[in-house]
């Protein structure tokens, strides 16, 4: 039997004392380490407790990194967990936090696309046509409703660079 290093000592002490009850996972309340370093067993144990302060620490870790280690551990625990109150709440925290992050990322991409459009000096329809997308799709990128592929972002950057260089060359020729 393989035993996680964080509970091995507890099992030895109980075996020596003749304790007959099974060893419970590490109590996360006693953990001094950040939630991000807890083993999955500690996350599971924390979700099975009634300790709101521990749940809040887990939620804070999820909000810091919605696709990070703690979020993945919570997902794993929720897939196998008995339906108890906190599981529904944490599933909602995961969904909302991820949706918020994705909306922020789409908005950031939209700002970058606006900058590329401005740099090119082209109109919206001309720019969309030259990158090979329908104007309504390009408008959705500009609004942050959807995000283009990485390849399309590269194409936009190249187009913007090319037209910015052409405009710069024209200005230099006039001077």
Could you tell me the pTM of the whole model?
Answer: 0.70
Give Cβ neighbours of residue 45 (< 8 Å, ≥ 6 apart). 24, 25, 26, 27, 28
For residue 73, is it within any domain?
yes
Q: Please check whether residues 109 and 63 belong to one and the same domain.
A: no
d(CA 133, CA 40): 45
- Residue 4 included in any domain: no
Per-residue model confidence as pLDDT tens digits over 96-135: 999 999 999 999 999 999 999 999 999 999 999 999 999 9
Domain with 62 in it: 24-82
Mark whether 74 and 109 lie in a shared domain.
no
Asked if 66 contacts 107 with a C-beta cutoff of 8 angstroms, the reply is no
| Angstrom distance (rounded) from CA 20 to CA 107 | 57
Radius of gyration of the chain (CA): 26
- Same domain? 111 vs 53: no
Length of the chain in terms of residues written:
175
Q: How many domains, the chain?
A: 2
pLDDT tens readout for residues 134-148: 999 999 999 999 999
Residue 58 within any structural domain of the chain: yes
Task: State the pLDDT at residue 23.
Answer: 40
Same structural domain, 131 and 161:
yes
The answer to the question of residue 131 being in a domain is yes
Q: Is residue 9 part of a domain?
A: no
Tell whether 32 and 63 lie within a shared domain.
Answer: yes
């Amino acid at each position: 039997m393989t035993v996680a290093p964080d509970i091995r000592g507890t099992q030895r002490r109980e075996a020596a004392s003749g304790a007959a009850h099974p060893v419970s996972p590490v109590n996360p309340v006693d953990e001094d380490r950040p939630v991000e370093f807890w083993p999955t067993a500690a996350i599971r144990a924390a979700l099975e407790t009634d300790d709101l302060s521990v749940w809040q620490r887990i939620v804070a870790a999820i909000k810091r990194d919605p696709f990070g280690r703690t979020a993945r551990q919570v997902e794993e625990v929720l897939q196998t967990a008995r339906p108890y109150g906190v599981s529904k709440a944490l599933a909602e925290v995961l969904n909302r936090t991820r949706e918020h992050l994705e909306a922020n990322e789409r908005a950031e991409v939209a700002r970058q696309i606006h900058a590329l459009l401005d740099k090119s000096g082209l109109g919206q329809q001309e720019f969309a046509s030259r990158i090979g997308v329908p104007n309504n799709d390009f408008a959705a990128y500009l609004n942050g409703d959807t995000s283009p592929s990485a390849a399309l972002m590269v194409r936009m950057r190249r187009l913007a660079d090319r037209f910015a260089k052409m405009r710069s060359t024209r200005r230099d020729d006039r001077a």
